[in-house]
Amino acid sequence: MSDNERRRAAILGRLRDVYRRSPEDEAVAIATVEQRVFHPAPNLIPARGQLDLAGRIELFTTMARNVQAEVDRVSRLADVPAAASAFLRRHNLPQKLVVAPDPVLQGAGFASQPLLRVRFGDADEHDQAGLTLAFAGVAETGTLMLCSAAERPTLLAFLPENSLVVLPTARVFGAYEQAWRELRRELGSPPRSVNFITGPSRTGDIAQRLELGAHGPRRLAVLLVDDFQAG
Amino acid sequence: MQPTSLAFQSKASSALADPNLQAALGGIKTGWQRGRILAAERLPEFEQLRDQARDIKNHALANLDFYLEAFEARVLDAGGQVHWARDAAEARRIVQEICEGAGARTVTKSKSMIAEEIGLNDHLEAAGITPVETDLGEYIIQLRKEPPSHLVGPAVHLTKDQVADLFEQTHGLPRTDDPTELVGQARTVLRQKYLAADVGITGANFLIAETGSAITVTNEGNAELTQGLPKVHVVIASLEKVIPSMEDAFTLLRVLARSATGQEFSAYTTVMTGPKRKGDLDGPEQFHVVLLDNGRTGMIGSKFQDMLRCIRCGACMNNCPVYLAAGGHAYGWVYVGPMGSVLTPQFVGIESAHTLPNASTFCGRCEEVCPVRIPLPNLMRHWREEQFKRQLVPSTVRQGLGTWGFLARRPALYRLATRVAMGVLGRLGRKRGRFASLPLAKGWTVSRDLPAPEGKTFMQQWRQRQRSRS
């Protein structure tokens, strides 16, 4: 037995001494635990986000703007480069963007913006603006859900001062549970990092005054795309 | 950290006379306290969600052994490692060994109350490893060498000017008291620390048995840079953080931010599962979870079990008249406010903290706002009984309480005694209508007068009224 195994046995042993379950109780407990771990069911889901798609997009937009996110809506994926370029111009930022090496984003036609210098890859400390693709949006609080993957590195949304996130409107769900159910359906188990992002980085640690851009992005721009097809 | 909780009274008195502290604490009422009320009003299901949040935690606490085993199995499946620690010393040693294994010289940390509880920073420093706090509030108190004064806002006791002074000394830049510039300075300094760190240490708000995930909640994004940049990530969490599923986490998250700061959702909720995967361009190569007991298994099945539901939102302190007047440091240890008055005696012993359960008016607001409905006044009452039993209070107080207890359990005698007392006080005070001082009640009359009773007790008046009616 290793030290760790000994400590583990001691802690679990202490718990079992307290619970002192009868064999029948133990069987019931195991069945309940297995049910809740292997077949989790949603608890109460607030009515707020339970709307049709148009309602969810509207609620998402309102809630995200309430927490200082910028929300733009474009009709096609091919409009994303122009929207990203306009964001950089609006904030007097250099026309430089590091973009997630996602095949769909690579096919978005960034060449349509000749002034915009684009690099596909992960962000480093010199990048001022990063663009990535969200897995889903959650209307009830205007929250983005990002899933890490080889083609969607996590730091893109945290290291640069400006974070741009593409969100297909069809992926705006009402509640967190619905977005997570979609993750289970598509990916099985969660990737290394799932980031729920609600507005840009903020702090109230100096005299409880709201300041944006504490460590993560100072600005967050959500680019909603209706027709999310490459080409 | 050595507890100084026994000095609560004197510390509270100096806190009341500290204009900086009073100014800083004043903001809590208009900020977090009001924010919570508004957020709850915007969500019609809020009260029902609190019930479910309580039930989820109760269920997990009744089956902790199974959920911990399930959690561990999933962490291993995802390529991570689980370390079990029975007490603070074991946890410190485990973290130190992981850091040494990584050849670490500096580690970044995102806010963790467990790290405060086990005194991790001092231990790492003694081992030649430099810990850097990255949460802005924690960074500030680390520079000031202070413990946190609040669960959510560790530097909430400081004014903007105090932070300006501190940063001027520390950063070697011209003084500024502009909050935006102050935040910008910390951002720049800490950015380099993130990039240089060999190990990142975070706490966890929840551990998920279903997936083997750890969840952190921040507003600054510091947890994400802490765990995302270094090659080793260590999560330190106490046992009771484990819950069954992501669905349960979402229910708890819905009440967490609303109760804490009045936000609909915190800016960043991150679900971390194992180390980086094949092909990932970032993320840690190692993922460690340190599970800390430190007396918690002893609370299971005891009258303090309810306390283990706590999700560390800080609503109890934001709504506590004693905390709002005395501030967090008066409590003398890591956990403050009503939740601290219950937890601190548990961790440091009632002998070293018997003042804390008395630092309450029992007004009940903490219980009213607790998202997981912990009966905090009741738990403090258990500690009061314990201190009475162990004779930790002065004999005059014990005798007074003993006499009162004797009478209170004999209603007829109690009524007789109050009738006599009211009659005497009524006659004595008839002339002036108030008492500026009274024997045995100096503590009360030193700052206010006692209005003289009119001579009859409530029960006497009630009976008279009943009689005149019939």
A213 interface with B at CB cutoff 8 Å? yes
The per-residue pLDDT of chain A, averaged, comes to 96
B298, B321, B342 - which closes a domain:
B298
User: Quick one: pLDDT at residue B37?
Assistant: 97
In a domain, B163, yes or no: no
**How many Å apart are CA B242 and CA A173, to the nearest integer?**
27
Indicate if the pLDDT at residue B65 is higher than 80: yes
pTM of the entire predicted model:
0.94
In a domain, B86, yes or no: yes
Contact B264, B39 (CB under 8 A): yes
User: Quick one: pLDDT at residue A230?
Assistant: 57
| Residue length of chain B | 470
Overall average pLDDT of the B90-109 stretch: 98
- Outline where DSSP puts E strands in A68-128: 70-76, 96-99, 117-120
> Taking CB atoms and an 8 Å cut-off, how many pairs form between chains A and B?
268
Task: Give this complex's ipTM.
Answer: 0.97
Which backbone phi and psi does B235 adopt, to 5 degrees?
Answer: -100, 125
Indicate if the pLDDT at residue B184 is higher than 70: yes
Task: Tell which wins on pLDDT, A147 or B439.
Answer: A147
User: Quick one: pLDDT at residue A228?
Assistant: 85
Indicate if the pLDDT at residue B441 is higher than 90: no
Do A31 and A128 reside in the same domain of the chain? no
In a domain, B408, yes or no: yes
Do A170 and A201 reside in the same domain of the chain? yes
Do B67 and A67 make contact, defined as CB atoms within 8 angstroms?
A: no
In a domain, B24, yes or no: no
Do B400 and B278 reside in the same domain of the chain? no
Q: Percentage helix, strand, coil, to 5, in chain B? A: 55, 10, 35
Range of the domain at A7: 3-38
- For tokens 């289970």, what's the residue? A184
Span B407-422, pLDDT tens digits: 999 999 999 998 898 8
For chain B, the domain total comes to 2
B277, B298, B319 - which closes a domain:
B298
User: Quick one: pLDDT at residue B336?
Assistant: 97
Closest in A125, A142, A203 to B183, CB measured? A203
**Nearest partner of B9 among B377, B394, B406, B334, judged by Cα:** B394
**Nearest partner of B272 among B318, B243, B235, B312, judged by Cα:** B235
User: Quick one: pLDDT at residue A138?
Assistant: 98
Do A165 and A60 reside in the same domain of the chain? yes
We report the CATH number of the domain holding residue A135 as 3.40.50.10420
User: Quick one: pLDDT at residue B45?
Assistant: 98
**How many Å apart are CA B145 and CA A77, to the nearest integer?**
51
Task: Tell which wins on pLDDT, A6 or B405.
Answer: A6
> For chain A, what is the radius of gyration of the CA atoms?
22
Q: How many CB atoms lie within 10 A of CB A90?
A: 11
Do A28 and A64 reside in the same domain of the chain? no
For chain A, the domain total comes to 2
Do A148 and A198 reside in the same domain of the chain? yes
Span B209-236, pLDDT tens digits: 999 999 999 999 999 999 999 999 999 9
In a domain, B370, yes or no: no
Indicate if the pLDDT at residue B342 is higher than 90: yes
B298, B326, B358 - which closes a domain:
B298
| DSSP-assigned letters across all residues of B8-47 | HHHHHHHHHT-HHHHHHHHHHIIIIIHHHHHHHHH-TTHH
The pLDDT-based confidence of B12 (bands split at 50, 70, 90) is very high
Indicate if the pLDDT at residue B254 is higher than 70: yes
Provide, rounded to the nearest whole percent, the portion of chain A with pLDDT above 90.
Answer: 96
Do A30 and A64 reside in the same domain of the chain? no
Closest in B268, B273, B283 to A197, CB measured? B268
The answer to whether the Cα torsion of A183, B225, B290, B287 is positive or negative is positive
Residue B109 CB-half CA count within 13 A: 23
User: Quick one: pLDDT at residue B96?
Assistant: 98
Do A9 and A76 reside in the same domain of the chain? no
We report the CATH number of the domain holding residue B140 as 3.40.50.10420
Closest in A16, A33, A44 to B45, CB measured? A44
End-to-end CA distance of chain B: 66
In a domain, B230, yes or no: yes
Q: Tell me the two tokens of residue B50.
A: 């609190």
Indicate if the pLDDT at residue B440 is higher than 80: no
Indicate if the pLDDT at residue B469 is higher than 90: no
A191 interface with B at CB cutoff 8 Å? yes
User: Quick one: pLDDT at residue B173?
Assistant: 92
Q: Which stretches in chain A have pLDDT values below 50?
A: 231
Range of the domain at B443: 396-469
Buried b / exposed e along B10-38 (16+ C-beta atoms within 10 A): ebbeebeeeeebbebbebbeebbbebbee
Do A11 and A98 reside in the same domain of the chain? no
Provide, rounded to the nearest whole percent, the portion of chain B with pLDDT above 90.
Answer: 84
Contact A206, B183 (CB under 8 A): yes
Helices (H) and strands (E) in chain A, counts: 6, 12
In a domain, B161, yes or no: no
Mutation choice for A interface testing from B282, B286, B318 by most A CBs within 10 A: B282
What's the DSSP call for residue A131? E
